[in-house]
Homo-oligomer: A and B are copies of this chain.
């Protein structure tokens, strides 16, 4: 490793104290420094290629300029896109991001939260899993800056950035109904998470607005642990026993798995069945027909989350903000939000 240039080196070079050098290079507004010497310090720093030692600075300031991001499943393109955006965005504020994936498992979430706080991140952006209320709430109680992303929790005083899932789902369902479809099956994850419930609610309300009574038998709840098998059963039941004209998948992973199965049955879209999906997938580009789907404003979600968190960290504000964004229905081939 090259020997690093220290504050002391600059100070020695100019015969001044490190205090002064530190003041100048940090643009400390509370202190007046002679214009000439300030200029010299800046020049020398530049010439010697000085880079502050973040570790030393962190030890004193108790800030690491690092954000811990915990998503629900990093192998899901929705979350990896989000992660990418957050990294880029945080970089603009000169923050580093470390990423963890809870894999929808609250135990793992807890582990990562712990690992990250030991590493002294300045704050968290987290996509909460089921049964995570306690740990998230304890962040809140301990005044750790954080923002919930993609999913909110009830009864918790927390910043969050989410989309209006009810509205999006209402829109999606309505789109099918507008085409004259009356029997819409819904496939959702069986997880106690607001955003999932909202999607089901939106679907039901849309049906009601068309004077259709929601039928429990058309709503299929899938366990995350065994979703491939369960989707097959759900699709079969909807198609064979209930003769649905359309299936609405409330997440991208469900949609992809469902489509695979539908194709394997030799069914054609939209001749044999209509489809609606929540979230974009790259895969949709390979079909002859367009799969209508809800597009989430990923970019905005990431940007807002970072902004909110850094506000919280740097201004040490206690003011809680909740950001609701709108998702849109993609009827063209490409999703403009990605």
Kindly state whether residue A31 has any CB partner on chain B within 8 Å. Answer: no
CB-based nearest B residue for A145: B1
Q: Are A119 and B96 in contact (CB under 8 A)?
A: yes
What are the residues of chain B within 8 A of A84 when measuring CB–CB?
Answer: 74-75, 101
B74 in contact with A144 (CB, 8 Å): no
Kindly name the residue among A1, A51, A100 whose own CB sees the greatest number of chain B CB atoms within 10 A.
A1
Are A263 and B282 in contact, with the CB atoms below 8 A?
A: no
Is there contact, CB below 8 Å, between B96 and A98? yes
Contact: B98 with A97, CB < 8 Å?
Answer: yes
Pairwise interchain contact B120-A54, C-beta atoms closer than 8 A: yes
A55 touches B64 (CB 8 A): yes
- Copies of this chain held together in the complex: 2
Instruction: Tell me, yes or no, whether A12 is within 8 Å of chain B by CB.
Output: no
Closest to A94 in B: B115
A143 / chain B contacts, CB cutoff of 8 Å: 1
A81 within 8 A of B: yes
Cβ distance A97 to chain B, nearest Cβ, rounded Å: 7
Instruction: Tell yes or no: A318 within 8 A of B by CB.
Output: no
A101 CB contacts on chain B under 8 angstroms: 84
A263 / chain B contacts, CB cutoff of 8 Å: 286, 288
Chain A, 97-125, CB within 8 A of any chain B CB:
97-101, 115, 118-120
Return the chain B residue nearest A285 by Cβ: B260
User: Considering only CB atoms, which chain B residue lies closest to A74 in the complex?
Assistant: B84
The count of chain A contact residues (Cβ–Cβ below 8 Å) is 42
Chain B residues, Cβ within 8 Å of A35:
none
Residues of B near A209 (CB, < 8 A) are none
A217 CB–B CB distance under 8 Å? no
| Chain B residues whose CB sits within 8 angstroms of the CB of A142 once the complex forms | 1-2
Kindly state whether residue A56 has any CB partner on chain B within 8 Å.
yes
| Interface members, chain A 48-89 (any B CB < 8 Å) | 51-56, 58-59, 64, 74-75, 77, 80-81, 84, 87
Give chain B nearest CB distance to A143 CB in angstroms. 6
User: Is residue A213 within 8 Å, beta carbon to beta carbon, of the partner chain?
Assistant: no
16 residue pairs from A and B, CB less than 8 Å apart: A1-B142, A2-B142, A51-B118, A53-B59, A53-B120, A54-B118, A55-B64, A59-B59, A74-B80, A75-B80, A75-B84, A97-B98, A98-B98, A260-B285, A282-B283, A286-B286
- CB closest residue in chain B, given A143: B1
A325 at the interface (CB under 8 A from B): no
Complex: chain B residue closest to A81, CB-CB:
B75
In angstroms, Cα B284 to Cα A282, docked, is 12
Question: What's the least CB distance linking A147 to chain B, in Å?
Answer: 16
Q: Does A177 contact B (CB under 8 A)?
A: no
Q: Which residue from B2, B54, B56, B260 sits with its C-beta under 8 Å from A286?
A: B260
Q: A77–B79 Cα gap in the complex (Å)?
A: 12
A221 sits at the interface (CB 8 A): no
